[in-house]
Amino acid sequence: MISQTTEYALRAVVYLADQDGARTTAMIAQATHVPAGYLSKVMQALSRAELVQSQRGLRGGFSLRRRPESLTALEVINAIDPIQRFHTCPVNLHGEALCPLHRRLDEAGRLVEETFGDTTIADMIRDTGGSKPLCQRPTDDAGSSGDAAARSLSSRPTTDPDQHSTLAT
């Protein structure tokens, strides 16, 4: 449904939303189980989209530009890899009219956009079900419920940025 790169961006944004102060790329990578080298590129894209800001210096790193209550999951997704919509038939068999297949695909895209557009980053943090979404809690130690989620995430392949996955919230 969304690319691995987009999931990485969502993990990073959710993590930053739950932190006080800036966090370095290394800190974000460790907490979210995202390869640090690739995370740097993701953070640059989020910075260009003005969703995060970077600070240099001793207490430098990345932080959100906006409050989690005003930032939607859709804004993060659109900054990295927008959801595909169909406005005309992509194979030019039906002219501008959408065939039944592409009409249904476009409707699915619309529903996904609507759902992510109605979901703020704050919603994702609040609706935890006992664990933090998309990343390991910094205060978790071995044996906690958050550690089980982290083990689950770490068992997933995370080195192929072109791999697509579904977002588990």
> Domain boundaries in the chain?
4-83+120-127
Q: Is the pTM of this model over 0.75?
A: no
DSSP 68: G
Pick the CATH number of 4-83+120-127 from 2.60.40.10, 3.30.360.10, 3.30.70.100, 1.10.10.10: 1.10.10.10
State how far the alpha carbon of 157 is from the alpha carbons of 35, 62, 99, 146, 149, in Å: 11, 25, 36, 19, 15
The predicted structure's pLDDT at residue 131: 60
The predicted structure's pLDDT at residue 57: 80
For 89, the token pair is 């038939």
**Which residue has tokens 């910094």?**
138
Q: How many CB atoms lie within 10 A of CB 123?
A: 15
Local confidence pLDDT in tens for the 169 residues of the chain? 789 999 999 999 999 999 989 999 999 999 999 999 999 999 999 999 999 999 988 788 999 999 999 999 999 999 999 998 888 777 777 667 788 888 888 899 999 999 999 999 999 988 766 565 555 444 444 333 333 333 333 333 344 444 444 343 3
Round to whole Å and give the CA distance between 49 and 133: 23
Round to whole Å and give the CA distance between 23 and 16: 7
- What are the DSSP E strand ranges found in the chain? 2-3, 52-55, 61-64, 164-165
